[in-house]
């Protein structure tokens, strides 16, 4: 189980619905994240995803 850690100042994040978002600091609290694409040939920022994302609202969609 994940225990909330301190802000990782190397990973900026503004996704407040993520379980790992560090409050008002706009940073991630994970040590590392997994970034991937859902496109064969990504050409835009919309083509990449943070695969470490988990909704902070358990049992509810974000």
- 27-62 per-position pLDDT tens digit: 999 999 999 999 999 999 999 999 999 998 876 667
**In whole angstroms, what is the distance from residue 47 CA to residue 56 CA?**
23
Neighbours of 5 (CB within 10 A): 12
Backbone angles phi, psi at 4, to 5 degrees: -55, 130
| Mean pLDDT, residues 4-20 | 93
Domain extents in the chain? 8-50
pTM: 0.79
| Mean pLDDT, residues 22-26 | 89
């Amino acid at each position: 189980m994940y225990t909330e850690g301190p802000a990782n100042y190397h990973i900026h994040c503004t996704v407040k619905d993520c379980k790992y978002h560090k409050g008002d600091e706009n940073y991630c609290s994970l040590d590392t994240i997994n970034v991937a694409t859902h496109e064969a040939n990504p050409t835009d920022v919309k083509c990449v995803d943070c695969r470490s994302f988990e909704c902070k609202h358990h049992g509810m969609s974000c």
